[in-house]
Structure 1
Amino acid sequence: MQEPSKTVLRLTALPARRPTEFTLEPDQAARRKLARELELTELSKLRFSGTLRPVGRNDWQLDGTLGATVEQPCGVTLAPVRTRIDETVRRRYSDSYTAPDETEAEVPEDDTLEPLPETVDLNAVMAEALTLAVPAFPRAPGAELGAQVFAPEGVEPLTEEKVKPFAALADLKKKLGNGDDTGNGGAA
C-alpha cells in the first residue's frame, strides 16, 4: 500500500469541523525544477503555509501565505534582478460552482472561487500562486528602455511627441501664427 501524500489532500479524509494546517518548504532540487519551469535564474527561498478549512456543508477554503526569493534577468539589460515575493493566497472550493461552457465568458468577480475537487494539490496551488506573483518584466535599478528614432535620410523622424493626439493641432496653431488663443481665429 502506498503512503498518502502530504501535499495532495483528499477532502473527504480531512476533519470536517476544524482547519487542517500545512507548510511546504521545497528542497533545493524541487526549487531548481520549479525555477526551470518558470524560466527563473534562481529560486533561493520558497515557503507556502496556511490552512484548509471546511465551510458550510460541502465547501472548503484555503488561506495561505507564499514567500519566495526569485532571481531573473532584467527585461532591458539582462542583469540579474532579485525579487522578494510575499503573497496572500486564497482559494474557495465550492460544491455549487460550475464553470461557464461558452468559449468566451466574463471573468467572475470572485477569482478565488473554483469547483470542488476530490483532492487539493498543495504543490500545484503553490506553483500557480508563484507563477502569478513573479514579475513579468523585471527591471534592474536604473535600467531604462531608451527611445530609438529611425528615419530614412532626408526625412524628419516620427517621434512620440509627434504621434500624440494634440501635436497636430499645436502645429496647426503655430502655422496659423495669429497668436489668438480665443479659438475664433481672430474674428471679431
Structure 2
Amino acid sequence: MPPKHPTAPQIPVSELRQTGATPFLLEPNAEFRNALAQELNAQSLRKIRFIGEITPQGRNDWRLKAKLGATAVQSCIVTLEPVTTRIDTDVTRSFVPAHKLKSAEEGSETEMSEDDDIEELGDEIDLEAILAEALSLALPSYPRVDGAEIETAQFSADGVTPMNDEDMRPFAGLAALRNKMQKDDGES
C-alpha cells in the first residue's frame, strides 16, 4: 500500500521495516525538477512521480521496486523545437553490505557482474539519486520532432571545395590509383 504523503528524499536504513515492505512516494518540487532538468540538458521536467517499496531480502539486504513516471521536454536535435516525452519505467535496485560485493584487486582481470542494479548499502537509501539515474537512462538520447530530417550540410571557406563522405574514406584514393595503374599497364 503506497503512503498517503510524500516521502523524504533519503530514507535511513534504520527506519526500514524488517518484517515487511516500506512503501514510498516521491514527488519532487519545482526546484528539484528544474535543477535535474538542467543537469539532464532538458528544457523542463513535469509531473515526476516515483512510487514503490523497499523490502527486506534476508537479514541485511534490501530490494527496491518502483515505478517512475515523468514528462520531459527536450530540444529536438534537428530543429531545436520542444519535444515532449512521457516516461513510464520500472526501477529495481538491490542494496547489499559492502562485504558481499565482489571487489576486484587492483590490476586483476575480473568479469563485471551482469546484475547492474546491485548497489552498496550505506546508512540511507537516496531515492532522489535513484530517481535521477533512472530518468537519465530513460530519456531519449536524440529527441526529434516528428518528420524532422537531418539534411547533408557542407561547410568550407570561400574558394575551397568542401569535403564529403567519399573524401573521408582513406583507401578510396588508393583504390582509384590502383585502378588507374592497372589501366595504364593494360595499355602498354
Q: Identify the TM-score tier after normalising by the shorter chain.
A: 0.7 to 0.9
Q: Could you tell me which residue of structure 1 aligns to residue 166 of structure 2? A: 161
Deviation at 1:132, TM superposition (A): 2.9
Q: Distance in 2 between matches of 1:104 and 1:147?
A: 47
Q: Distance in 2 between matches of 1:88 and 1:144?
A: 33
In the alignment, does 2:115 pair up with 1:113? no
Q: Distance in 1 between matches of 2:130 and 2:122?
A: 13
In the alignment, does 2:144 pair up with 1:144? no
User: What is the CA deviation profile of residues 96-135 of structure 1, one whole-angstrom value per residue up to 9, with x for unaligned ones?
Assistant: 2266575999754322111111111212211222233233
Q: Which runs of 5+ in 1 are unaligned?
A: 179-184
Pairwise CA RMSD: 3.2
Deviation at 1:49, TM superposition (A): 1.4
Q: Could you tell me which residue of structure 2 aligns to residue 171 of structure 1? A: 176
Q: How many residues align?
A: 175
Q: Could you tell me which residue of structure 2 aligns to residue 47 of structure 1? A: 49
Given that 1:59 and 1:93 are in contact with CA atoms closer than 8 Å, whether structure 2 keeps it comes out as yes
Given that 2:154 and 2:163 are in contact with CA atoms closer than 8 Å, whether structure 1 keeps it comes out as no
- Relative to its length, the structure with more helix (as a share) is 2
User: What is the CA deviation profile of residues 27-78 of structure 1, one whole-angstrom value per residue up to 9, with x for unaligned ones?
Assistant: 4444334324433212122111122111122111112121111112223322
Identity among equivalent pairs (%): 41
Q: Distance in 1 between matches of 2:124 and 2:109?
A: 26
> Mapping of 1:1-188 within 5 angstroms?
6-95=8-97, 96-97=100-101, 108-141=113-146, 142-144=148-150, 146-150=152-156, 153=159, 157-164=162-169, 167-168=172-173, 170-172=175-177, 174-175=179-180
Q: Which runs of 5+ in 2 are unaligned?
A: 1-6
Q: Distance in 1 between matches of 2:109 and 2:151?
A: 36
Q: Distance in 2 between matches of 1:38 and 1:104?
A: 34
- TM-score (ref. length: structure 2): 0.73
Per the alignment, do residues 101 and 32 of structure 1 end up closer, same or farther by CA in structure 2, a change over 3 Å counting?
A: farther
Q: Distance in 2 between matches of 1:101 and 1:74?
A: 44
Per the alignment, do residues 157 and 109 of structure 1 end up closer, same or farther by CA in structure 2, a change over 3 Å counting?
A: same
Q: Which stretch shows the higher mean deviation, 31-40 or 50-59?
A: 31-40
Q: Which runs of 4+ in 1 moved over 6 A?
A: 103-106
